[in-house]
């Protein structure tokens, strides 16, 4: 069972978001509340209970909802990472990843790419040795380690903050020993029963991502009554399991799992409703970069001689899809295009004042 202060049977979904001067003015007038301790505010909210939901002004939120409201308005723990928006560069040391498979499958090429992303402004480099795209073939932990450990060691020695994208406990342990500082698990530490204990013993930050099934089965599991509510409630279960294993909640980040067991429309719905993730009280990681739904929405492939455009052409759409995450003051954006994303973040911040 989840602890009472993180009961997901009742949720507050912030609506009518305001930014910059408008947010400050509305808060000063008592018409809005700060969202997640940052510069965004919300004037309305949806109260979601077990029997339905209702939209109310923030001044009409019942007193009984105060503990939930406190969580939605408070800034989440930093999970041991620098505060503010962070860009995490994606480094796939694989032959079959959907976007850059084979581009960095030699250690020298991968190390150079990681250093380049750090020089471009990435705060973290996320190294992966197993593709988790839909239908991907599983990789044995020993092969995964052979791919990534030389890269992790070299980047850590160079002073970079390295994250490791893995579902395997043995790879987690080896990567942490090699200098990695964060574990990013698409299975929310649910794939390998030994994984939670390793993360707990290391005391390192960990990302719990929402996914149903496995990369081989998830496409058939995208059946939701309300995808945003389901993601929050299912991540609540994952967080509770991590806490039972001895992992401090203030070290955990959550990822809504865009593209994992979700249709294109469900991905869009989640991006529209990202503020509902504040109910979890954790720092948020958002990974939308170059995902297939971006090409679907943009109509890529509709032109003659352009039936299978390369994923790199989705970079502008990736940046647009990541911007809703900036409602969270400490969002972590997992991206392929580091300089383009950083430019967009800085412009957004400047516009919002």
Q: Does residue 30 form part of some domain?
A: yes
Give yes or no: residues 55 and 204 share one domain.
no
Is a pLDDT exceeding 60 seen at residue 304?
A: no
Q: Does residue 177 form part of some domain?
A: yes
pLDDT on residue 4: 42
| Neighbour-count burial of 138, counting CB atoms closer than 10 A to its CB (0-12 exposed, 13-18 middle, 19+ buried) | middle
Give yes or no: residues 45 and 103 share one domain.
no
Mean pLDDT, residues 295-313 taken together: 71
Q: Tell me, rounded to whole angstroms, the distance of Cα 302 from its chain centroid.
A: 30
Is a pLDDT exceeding 50 seen at residue 2?
A: no
Find all residues with CB under 8 Å of 270, minimum gap 6, and list them.
Answer: 227, 228, 231, 256, 258, 262
pLDDT on residue 348: 95
Confidence tier at 3 by pLDDT (50, 70, 90): very low
Predicted confidence (pLDDT) per residue in 61-89, tens digit: 999 999 999 999 999 999 999 999 999 99
Predicted confidence (pLDDT) per residue in 120-138, tens digit: 999 999 999 998 877 778 8
pLDDT on residue 94: 85
Give yes or no: residues 250 and 343 share one domain.
yes
Mean pLDDT, residues 324-333 taken together: 98
What is the residue-averaged pLDDT of the chain? Answer: 93
Query: Phi then psi for 63, rounded to 5 degrees?
Result: -60, -30
Confidence tier at 96 by pLDDT (50, 70, 90): low
Which positions are catalytic?
A: 291, 334
Contact 129, 148 (CB under 8 A): yes
**Which of 50, 73, 96 is the last residue before a domain boundary?**
73
Count of domains for the chain? 2
Give yes or no: residues 175 and 299 share one domain.
yes
Mean pLDDT, residues 256-268 taken together: 97
Predicted confidence (pLDDT) per residue in 16-34, tens digit: 999 999 999 999 999 999 9
Give yes or no: residues 325 and 271 share one domain.
yes
Q: Which of 11-25, 83-97, 186-200, 333-347 has the lowest mean pLDDT?
A: 83-97
pLDDT on residue 102: 55
Give yes or no: residues 38 and 93 share one domain.
no
Is a pLDDT exceeding 50 seen at residue 219?
A: yes
Q: Does residue 80 form part of some domain?
A: no
Give yes or no: residues 120 and 36 share one domain.
no
Q: Does residue 81 form part of some domain?
A: no
Give yes or no: residues 113 and 203 share one domain.
yes
Give yes or no: residues 67 and 151 share one domain.
no
Predicted confidence (pLDDT) per residue in 163-182, tens digit: 999 999 999 999 999 999 99
Q: Does residue 79 form part of some domain?
A: no
pLDDT on residue 48: 98
Residue 44 is part of which domain span? Answer: 4-73
CATH number of domain containing 281 = 3.20.20.20
State the pTM of this model: 0.93
**Which of 73, 95, 122 is the last residue before a domain boundary?**
73
Give yes or no: residues 172 and 308 share one domain.
yes
Mean pLDDT, residues 216-241 taken together: 96
pLDDT on residue 303: 46
Give yes or no: residues 144 and 173 share one domain.
yes
Contact 32, 58 (CB under 8 A): yes
**Which of 73, 108, 131 is the last residue before a domain boundary?**
73
Give yes or no: residues 57 and 138 share one domain.
no
């Amino acid at each position: 069972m989840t602890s009472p202060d993180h009961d997901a049977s009742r949720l507050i979904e912030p609506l009518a978001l305001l930014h910059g001067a408008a947010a400050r003015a509305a808060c000063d007038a008592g018409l809005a509340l700060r969202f997640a301790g940052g510069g965004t505010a919300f004037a309305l909210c949806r109260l979601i209970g077990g029997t339905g939901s209702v939209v109310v002004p923030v001044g009409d939120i019942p007193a009984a909802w105060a503990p939930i409201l406190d969580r939605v308005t408070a800034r989440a723990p930093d999970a041991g990472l620098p505060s503010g928006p962070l860009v995490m560069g994606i480094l796939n040391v694989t032959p079959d990843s959907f976007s850059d498979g084979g581009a960095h499958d030699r250690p020298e090429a991968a190390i150079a790419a990681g250093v380049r992303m750090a020089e471009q402004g990435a705060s973290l480099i996320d190294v992966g040795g197993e593709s988790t795209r839909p239908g991907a073939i599983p990789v044995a932990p020993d092969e995964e380690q052979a791919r990534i450990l030389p890269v992790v060691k070299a980047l850590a020695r160079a002073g970079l903050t390295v994250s490791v994208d893995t579902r395997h406990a043995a790879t987690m342990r080896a990567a942490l020993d090699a200098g990695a500082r964060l574990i990013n698990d698409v299975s929310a530490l649910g794939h390998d029963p030994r994984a939670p204990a390793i993360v707990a013993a290391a005391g390192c930050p960990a990302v719990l991502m929402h996914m149903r099934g496995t990369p081989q089965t998830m496409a058939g599991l995208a059946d939701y009554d309300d995808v945003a509510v389901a993601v929050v409630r299912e991540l609540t279960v994952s967080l509770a399991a991590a806490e039972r294993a001895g992992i401090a909640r203030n070290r955990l980040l959550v990822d809504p799992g865009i593209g994992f067991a979700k249709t294109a429309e469900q991905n869009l719905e989640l991006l529209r409703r990202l503020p509902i993730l504040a109910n979890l009280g954790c720092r948020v990681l958002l990974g939308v970069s170059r995902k297939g739904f971006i090409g679907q929405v943009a109509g890529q492939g509709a032109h003659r001689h352009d039936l299978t455009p390369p994923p790199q052409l989705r970079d502008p759409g990736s940046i647009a899809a990541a911007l809703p995450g900036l409602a969270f003051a400490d969002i972590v954006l997992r991206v392929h295009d580091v300089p383009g994303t950083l430019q967009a973040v800085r412009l957004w911040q400047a516009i919002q004042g």
